């Protein structure tokens, strides 16, 4: 187990980057500190008896408004964890140039212990507490799904908020990750996993960086292990497979499966749906201890579950050349130097899993503008492309077939624009991080990412005139 807590580890990473900078001490302390911490206890009637529920909402930074961050339902929820996650959200938003401050929320429950009706009751009561304390609103604080929550809970949050604020014209922007029918956006569910793909693809495109760790450029043929098959892990594994990677192992809480020739991600998920376990999948070797998967021989390891799965105890046994942190804080602070000394390239969580908040930003913008992306320009582009094709055919005397015309004339739908915006955000952010990494004495990408985010947040404070 880590001797340094999750939040302390985030602070130490911050201090490591801050020590290389010349910002005033008071400004650095302000950037690092959690601004507002709401700890709640509220009663909810469960099966004829009242149960006291423990919950949190932390707003880390108000340098940009609203604050933004998911809500997780887990028995592991505690104040230290929520503070750490809120802090990472601030730095994450700065890295991908999303104008939010960081926040995070959590309810200390195991969702499997409650019926859907009871889950709704808990969610609505939690939302009511946030409303009473002014901790939610499209201009104040905008939650989203996280571990243990989904679009279902976000719909309940939205409905509760609008019940209290029926006159809020921008009220639907109070929460993101909603169902499409409730103001959600295409591509949000898979956004974090798709962002992992875009990020790792950009990382692997730099030939000199890959040569330094003994790999060839590109994703094609890379052997990948994914730990965690929740929303993020599943989509990351699926998209990596579609990009040409070989998924040699998948791990969940019940165990891990391995096949050196590769696993079909969708087939594994279908098997798990049918049998309630990934174990027993045909043509794969079972391992009861899922943590063993972290030590399998592979090119890229993607921990996509919870924090601190790589520790001092197992870091020396990691064989991956690249660790892509799809989860928040999967590497304990004490394990980081062990991995770096081994030459492992760590792609930090605050960059790699930023796809979710990036597309949440797009959803928030959609809610504020009250118009679906693509509605204003789709037909215009299709008509323009059609005229262009006709001109080319007239000039050349050659005709395009129906499939070619359909592809060339396609105007962007909402999902096309969302994925394009996400890809651009992930590519641009990594280029900024890598430039800092290569142009300074910084030795690792996590410190470079913190360095960039601190500078961007500091610039916001300077612009406000709060610090000289």
Q: Where are the domains of the chain?
A: 34-182, 185-377+412-468
Q: Which of 32, 68, 92, 104 is catalytic?
A: 104
| β-pairing verdict for 300-303 and 223-227 | parallel
- Cα 164 to Cα 59, 116, 146, 450, distances in angstroms: 22, 23, 24, 39
CA distances (Å), origin 35, targets 32, 102, 297: 9, 10, 43
pLDDT of res. 181: 95
pLDDT given at position 232: 95
* Confidence at residue 465, expressed as pLDDT on a 0 to 100 scale: 85
Structure tokens at 130: 């946030």
Per-residue pLDDT of the chain (468 residues; tens, 9 = 90+): 457 899 999 999 999 999 999 999 999 999 999 999 999 999 999 999 999 999 999 999 999 999 999 999 999 999 999 999 999 999 999 999 999 999 999 999 999 999 999 999 999 999 999 999 999 999 999 999 999 999 999 999 999 999 999 999 999 999 999 999 999 999 999 999 999 999 999 999 999 999 999 999 999 999 999 999 999 999 999 999 999 999 999 999 999 999 999 999 999 999 999 999 999 999 899 988 888 899 999 999 999 998 899 999 999 999 999 999 999 999 999 999 999 999 999 999 999 999 999 999 999 999 999 988 877 787 777 788 777 888 888 898 888 888 887 787 787 788 999 999 999 999 999 999 999 999 998 999 999 999 999 999 999 999 988 776
pTM of the model: 0.92
Interaxial angle between packed helices 191-204 and 231-242, expressed in degrees from 0 to 180 and rounded to the nearest 10: 40
pLDDT at 288: 86
Q: Rounded to whole angstroms, how far apart are CA atoms 241 and 225?
A: 11
Is-same-fold flag (34-182; 185-377+412-468)? yes
pLDDT of residue 401: 84
Q: Are 312 and 291 in contact (CB under 8 A)?
A: no
Q: Give residues with Cβ within 8 angstroms of 182, minimum separation 6.
A: 154, 155, 158, 172
CA 237, chain centre distance (Å): 14
Domain 34-182, CATH class in plain words: alpha beta
C-beta separation of 145 from 70 below 8 A: yes
Whether residue 211 lies in the annotated active site: no
**How many whole angstroms separate alpha carbon 57 and alpha carbon 63?**
17
Question: Within the chain, how many helices (H) and strands (E) appear?
Answer: 16, 12
- Specify the DSSP class assigned to residue 169: T
User: Residue 408: CB partners within 8 Å, gap ≥ 6?
Assistant: 385, 389, 400
pLDDT value for 406: 79
Q: Is 185 helix (H, G, I), strand (E, B) or coil?
A: coil
Which CATH architecture group holds 185-377+412-468?
3-Layer(aba) Sandwich (3.40)
Helix (H) or strand (E) holding 392, with range, is helix 378-396
Measured CA to CA, the distance from residue 253 to residue 343 in angstroms comes to 29
């Amino acid at each position: 187990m880590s001797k340094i807590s999750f939040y302390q580890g985030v602070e130490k990473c911050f201090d490591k980057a801050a020590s290389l900078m010349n910002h005033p001490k008071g400004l650095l302390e302000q950037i690092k500190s959690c601004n507002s911490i709401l700890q709640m206890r509220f009663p909810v009637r469960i099966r004829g008896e009242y149960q006291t529920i423990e919950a949190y909402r932390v707003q880390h930074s108000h340098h940009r408004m609203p604050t933004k961050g998911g809500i997780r339902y887990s028995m592991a929820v505690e104040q230290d964890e929520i503070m750490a996650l809120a802090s990472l959200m601030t730095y994450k938003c700065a890295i991908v140039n999303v104008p939010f401050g960081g926040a995070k929320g959590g309810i200390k429950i195991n969702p499997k212990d409650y019926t859907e009706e009871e889950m709704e009751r808990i969610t609505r009561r939690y939302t009511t507490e946030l409303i009473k304390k002014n901790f939610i609103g499209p201009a104040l604080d905008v939650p989203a799904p996280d571990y243990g929550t989904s679009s279902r809970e976000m719909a309940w949050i939205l409905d509760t908020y609008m019940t209290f604020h029926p006159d809020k014209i921008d009220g639907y922007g109070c929460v993101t990750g909603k169902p499409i029918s409730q103001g959600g956006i295409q591509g949000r569910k898979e956004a974090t996993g798709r962002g992992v793909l875009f990020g790792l693809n950009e990382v692997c495109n730099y030939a000199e960086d890959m040569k330094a760790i003994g790999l060839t450029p590109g994703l094609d043929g890379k052997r990948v292990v994914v730990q965690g098959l929740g929303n993020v892990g599943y989509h990351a594994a699926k998209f990596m497979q579609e990009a040409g990677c070989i998924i040699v192992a998948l791990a969940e809480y019940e165990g891990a499966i391995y096949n050196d020739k590769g696993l079909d991600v969708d087939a594994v998920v279908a098997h798990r749906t049918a049998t309630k376990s990934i174990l027993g999948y045909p043509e794969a070797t079972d391992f009861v201890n899922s943590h063993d998967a972290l030590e399998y021989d592979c090119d890229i390891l993607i921990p996509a579950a919870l924090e601190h799965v790589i520790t001092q105890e197992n870091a020396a046994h990691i064989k991956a050349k690249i660790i892509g942190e799809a989860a928040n804080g999967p590497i304990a602070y004490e394990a980081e130097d062990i991995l770096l000394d081994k030459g492992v390239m760590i792609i930090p969580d605050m960059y790699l899993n930023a796809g979710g908040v990036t597309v949440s930003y797009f959803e928030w913008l959609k809610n504020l503008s009250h118009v679906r992306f693509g509605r204003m320009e789709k037909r215009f582009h299709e008509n323009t492309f059609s005229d262009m094709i006709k001109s080319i055919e007239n000039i050349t005397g050659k005709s395009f077939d129906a499939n070619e015309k359909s592809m060339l004339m396609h105007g962007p739908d909402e999902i096309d624009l969302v994925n394009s915006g996400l890809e651009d955000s992930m590519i641009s952010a990594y280029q900024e991080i890598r430039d800092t990494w290569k142009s300074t004495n910084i030795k690792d990408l996590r410190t470079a990412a913190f360095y960039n985010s601190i500078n961007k947040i500091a610039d916001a404070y300077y612009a406000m005139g709060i610090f000289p």
